[in-house]
Amino acid sequence: MAEDWQKITGGITAPRGYQAAGITAGLKPSGLPDLALIFSEVEAIAAGVFTTSQVKAACVEYCRQRLQAKHSARAILCNAGQANAATGTQGYLDTLESALAVGQALNIPSESVLLASTGVIGQRIKMDALRSGIPKVVAALSETGSDAAAGAIITTDLVTKSIALETTISDRPVRIGGIAKGSGMIHPNMATMLAFVTCDAVVSPHLWQQMLARAADRSFNSITVDGDTSTNDSLIALANGQSRTPAITEWGAEAEKLEAMLTAVCQHLAKAIARDGEGATCLIEVEVIGAHDELSARQIAKTIAGSSLVKSAIFGRDPNWGRIAAAAGRAGVPFEQENLQIKLGDFLMLENGQPLQFDRAAASAYLKKAAADSSLPKDFIATNNSNDLSFDRSTIKAQRVDNPVIIAVSIGNGHGSGKAWGCDLSYDYVRINAEYTT
């Protein structure tokens, strides 16, 4: 489907009927913003996609149970600083207390509150700070609070991540907004990432959940930074119906348009996460065509994007197509070697399974330029690429996600195509994670 929407300002508060806030509650040692709240003025249809890890944070277990029992919500509270994962029974009791406190402060049932946490695994939420912070974050709610909320959910991120799009359904404007966090422990099938999406369309619960699951597969489940899946990752989406459009209850043109825009929002946030990978210098986009189906194409694309050797070659600005070919070959998808084609940007390197002559210096220059076009200033990265959160990332504009390194692979004549996104693997990734808790 051709794009039938436009980018607008406002993030998660761009859709009608939403407010958001982000404050400093004293959860992070750095003293930076660490508590965010998203609030719908009316009950909203709620859907979620969560980590596939067997070790799940208390908030993930809580949200799964809440959404199974009730397909709606009005508030999402997110704390940064402590993951509240692997914290046992007391960690879950802290989660229940958090929901109850938010419900009381907003005068809504605690069952209408969803929760998310991010931070160090094995650490309980600092409940004294959270208890005192909840009334403050409720008081700070605003129709322009998206940026503050985006700044309060990040941890090792260098930049905040936000997007809002608008389309027309039944001659009325419909909007979807989103914010996300994520930088490391990122791998397909969800990762250490949080994403929150708001929408003002009227859509049935089962359809909204289906849309979100498919959008996740084509976005957050198609990014990788380091091959590690985490305990806390959550994608939660609310649809509150305040656009006053007719209800979308079955598949059709309007549902297709809404899902396409939802997917675009999720893909933007996913690419921003991949570009902000810990220590990364550039975004990598891998597109695979000619596969039997979309799932097979995405599997090859994700394998290439996740290959440590491919990522290292991109960081070294080395146009080593052999590493791309090797990753495609081990992805577990059958194809004929003589059908393999590989391009790096505009440079055709392999065709019909045969190597071609190409300008290696020019291909290397392409990699250098792609990184330079999307990079933050070197002095900013050198000063601020730290998990200690000793500086305010919320004021930094997002890195560009429209100038990725493009790897294009064809494996045959099938109709299946798919994309995945990742980043290069730099020296700083090891430094950041070697020092994560120290």
Q: At what angle do helices 308-315 and 294-306 cross, to 10 degrees?
A: 60
Q: Which helix (H) or strand (E) holds 433?
A: helix 427-434
- For residues 47 and 57, give the distance between their C-alpha atoms in angstroms, rounded to a whole number: 18
| Contact indicator for 231, 60 with CB cutoff of 8 Å | yes
Q: Where are the alpha helices (DSSP H) in 319-411?
A: 321-329, 360-374, 378-384
Query: Catalytic residue at 192?
Result: yes
Angle of CA points 30, 234, 82, to nearest 5°: 25
| Contact indicator for 347, 363 with CB cutoff of 8 Å | yes
Name residue 401's amino acid.
Answer: V
Closest CA to 124 of 77, 78, 89, 76: 89
Name residue 185's amino acid.
Answer: M
| Contact indicator for 157, 182 with CB cutoff of 8 Å | yes
CA distances, 289 to each of 68, 266, 311, 346, 349 (Å): 37, 22, 21, 16, 16
CA distances, 303 to each of 140, 289, 435 (Å): 43, 14, 28
Q: Active-site residue among 118, 192, 229, 281?
A: 192
- For residues 323 and 258, give the distance between their C-alpha atoms in angstroms, rounded to a whole number: 38
- For residues 52 and 91, give the distance between their C-alpha atoms in angstroms, rounded to a whole number: 19
Contacts of residue 240, defined as CB under 8 A and 6 or more positions apart, other chains included, come to: 15, 16, 17, 18, 40, 41, 42, 43, 44, 45, 198, 199, 200
Across-strand partners of 37? 21, 77
Question: Judging by DSSP bridges, how do beta strands 405-410 and 283-290 pair with one another?
Answer: parallel
Closest CA to 262 of 341, 304, 207, 315: 207
Residue 66 in 3-state DSSP? Answer: helix
Annotated catalytic residues are 192
